[in-house]
Amino acid sequence: MFMKGKKGLIVGIANNKSIAYGIAKACRNQGASLIFTYLNDSIKKRVIPIAKELESDYVYELDVTKDDDLKALTKSLKEDIGEIDFIVHSVAFAPRRSLEGSYLDTLRDDFSLAMDTSVYSLVALCRACEDILSKEASILTLSYLGGPKYVPNYNVMGVAKAALEASVRYLAVDLGAKNGIRVNAVSAGPIKTLAASGIGDFKNILNWNEINSPLKKNVTIDEVGNSGMYLLSDLSKGVTGEIHYVDAGYNIMGMCAVERDENGQMVICWDKQK
């Protein structure tokens, strides 16, 4: 087992359809022991069964936007567990109104909330946990193509993901000099998760990705989970500061896919959307 003896913190899991769940399950399958957090009582009801399924007795309350919560978490982890070997940061939020219409109309408060919750939370989490991370620990966050590229309706969340990916690179340098701690991101293709439900026309994004990706499919949380496990394990000890795409190859495409009809005429992919 690639992660036997490893202990890891999973932050931001919402339910068993979350990408974070896929990563946690893959890590557990490879022998890792897991620690979970929940935002509030509503989320706690979903996280507790997941913790039991993945054989974890450690579940803590955490709001990553509150420094006192982060201090309390690391204090508890130090007392209950000691050092940890990896962290999964799966936290992002923007008000629904900021994921509709024009990015130009984004409100200042909505922008600040999206950046604080989706980006600064990674910085704050890394800083809070720095003293309890083992030598050569691994930190993983979740991004999406809407950061480096334009994706309809992603708006302020795209800007947040761009900032998150930049943070991965800067944190990789800062933490790499301290006990060889690695920081990477997985950029997953579109998946039907709770977070994705807030993005307008998400069904069309799924269809577009399936039609135009080289593998002609959408990825699953298990596929993303296995890639996440690789980046958290010692298999990737030489990898840091990277954005690893798990999107059936969609990110390499410069144009949409085309086919020929029975008359040999070009048929553009959007004519075939489901």
Q: Whole-number mean pLDDT of the chain? A: 93
pLDDT for residue 273: 46
User: Which pLDDT value is given to residue 194?
Assistant: 67
Which of 43, 89, 37 is closest to 62 using CA atoms?
37
Q: What percent of the chain has pLDDT over 70?
A: 92
pLDDT of residue 117: 98
pLDDT at 274: 45
Find, among 83, 164, 71, the residue nearest to 125 by Cα. Answer: 71
pLDDT at 198: 65
Name which residue leads in pLDDT, 6 or 256. Answer: 6
In this model, does residue 176 exceed pLDDT 50? yes
Please say whether the beta carbons of 156 and 114 come within 8 A. yes
* pLDDT above 90 for 135: yes
d(CA 202, CA 189) in angstroms, rounded, equals 12
With 70 as the cut, is the pLDDT of residue 272 above it?
no
More confident residue, 145 or 259: 145
- Mean local confidence (pLDDT), 83-104: 95
List pLDDT tens digits, range 36-80: 999 999 999 999 999 999 999 999 999 999 999 999 999 999 999
Q: What is the pLDDT of residue 268?
A: 58
Amino acid identity of residue 97, one-letter, is R
Convert the pLDDT of each residue in 99-119 to its tens digit.
Answer: 989 999 999 999 999 999 999
By the 8 A CB rule, do 145 and 162 touch?
no
What percentage of the chain carries pLDDT values higher than 90?
84
Backbone angles phi, psi at 170, to 5 degrees: -70, -40
Domain-by-domain residue ranges, the chain?
A: 7-272
Residue 153, number of CB atoms within 10 A of its CB: 18
Q: What is the pLDDT of residue 197?
A: 63
CA pair distance 161, 168, nearest whole angstrom: 10
CB 212 within 8 A of CB 256: yes
CA 206 – CA 226 distance, rounded (Å): 21
Residue that has been written with the tokens 């557990």 in this structure: 28
**Contact criterion met (CB below 8 Å) for 231 and 239:** yes
Architecture of domain 7-272: 3-Layer(aba) Sandwich (3.40)
Structure letter (DSSP) for residue 259? E
> Is the model's pLDDT at 93 over the cut of 50?
yes
**What residues are annotated to the active site?**
144, 154
**DSSP code, position 51:** H
Please check the confidence at residue 270 and state whether its pLDDT lies above 90.
no
Residue 244 CA to residue 266 CA, distance in Å, equals 33
With 80 as the cut, is the pLDDT of residue 257 above it? no
Decide if pLDDT at 238 tops 50. Answer: yes
Give this prediction's pTM. Answer: 0.93
* Confidence (pLDDT) at 260: 66
Q: What is the pLDDT of residues 178-234, one digit of tens each?
A: 899 999 999 999 998 766 666 767 788 888 899 999 999 999 999 999 999 999 999
Higher pLDDT, 243 or 261: 243
